[in-house]
């Protein structure tokens, strides 16, 4: 698990007078959870892109533990993300033509050989995520099951951090609730720090701590004491 520390962070895009993201300070303890909400255009995806190192910041610092990712060149940021950050996206990003199990191990296998025990871990993660048939072709799974596979895939390399961007937005309420529960439960069980962008009040409540973005700034930070 890794703590997050953001200081004097700013993201600007060419042609815009004001920054789309401006965060003076944000600390999330290792193993803590944080829900991020805000209206459309408030900067949620931009924040996800910067904290995961998908985009370089214009100014300021983002540290995960001792690593200041905003100082790393692109290749090393990508390597850091692959090793330490499990991503769960709204639209799953799974690969058709492969089974559920093959999808879970694919990102690791593209980077390196599976370590001893990782095959068993992948099967175990699928099982505790509620996927009974790991050999089932991915395109035949329900949407809720697909997101469960994506959660298992994010956890396989034992990341210190899980970042989920609207993970339940394309699921119906009941299935979304089950997937939300799975993400929070597994992140806690694995000791991963959890960051979730969501509009889902049940998921926000489940996580505990909650920031609201408006115009790229944090206008509310609630539940900090209980969640810490």
Ligand X SMILES: Nc1ncnc2c1ncn2[C@@H]1O[C@H](COP(=O)(O)OP(=O)(O)OP(=O)(O)O)[C@@H](O)[C@H]1O
163 binds ligand X (CB under 6 A): no
> How far apart are alpha carbons 219 and 6 in whole angstroms?
16
Interface with ligand X, residue 45, by CB under 6 A: yes
Nearer to ligand X, 38 or 60 (CB): 38
| Shortest Å, Cβ 38 to ligand X | 5
Closest CA to 175 of 151, 132, 145: 145
Locate 203 and state its tokens: 């998921």
- Work out whether 192 is an interface residue with ligand X (CB under 6 A): no
- Shortest distance in whole angstroms from residue 20 CB to ligand X: 3
Nearest residue to 22 (alpha-carbon basis) of 13, 12, 14, 10: 10
**Total site size for ligand X, rule CB under 6 A:** 10
Parallel/antiparallel/unpaired status of strands 67-68 and 193-197: unpaired
Q: Is 46 in the site for ligand X (CB under 6 A)?
A: yes
x/- site string to ligand X, residues 5 to 44, per CB under 6 A? --------x------x-----------------x-xxxxx
Contacting residues for 84 by C-beta, under 8 A, at least 6 apart: 2, 64, 159, 160, 161
Q: Shortest distance, CB of residue 201 to ligand X, whole angstroms?
A: 16
């Amino acid at each position: 698990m890794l703590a997050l520390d953001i200081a004097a962070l700013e993201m600007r895009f060419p042609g815009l007078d004001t920054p789309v993201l401006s965060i003076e300070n944000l600390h999330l303890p290792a193993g803590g959870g944080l829900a991020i909400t805000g209206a459309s255009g408030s900067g949620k995806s931009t924040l996800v892109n910067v904290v995961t190192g998908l985009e370089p910041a214009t100014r300021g610092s983002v540290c995960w533990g001792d690593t200041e990712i905003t100082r790393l060149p692109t290749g090393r940021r990508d390597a850091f993300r692959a090793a330490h950050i499990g991503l769960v996206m709204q639209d799953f990003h799974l690969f058709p033509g492969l089974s559920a199990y093959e999808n879970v191990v694919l990102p690791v296998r593209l980077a390196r050989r599976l370590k001893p025990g990782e095959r068993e871990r992948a099967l175990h993660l699928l099982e505790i995520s509620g996927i009974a048939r790991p050999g089932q072709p991915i395109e035949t799974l329900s949407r809720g099951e697909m997101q469960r596979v994506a959660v298992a895939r994010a956890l396989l390399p034992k990341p210190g951090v899980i970042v989920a961007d609207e993970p339940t937005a394309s699921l119906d309420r009941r299935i979304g609730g089950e997937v939300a529960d799975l993400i929070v439960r597994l992140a806690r069980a694995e000791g991963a720090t959890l960051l979730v962008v969501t509009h889902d009040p049940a998921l926000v409540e489940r996580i505990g701590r909650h920031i609201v973005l408006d115009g790229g700034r944090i206008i509310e930070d609630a539940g900090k004491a209980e969640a810490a």
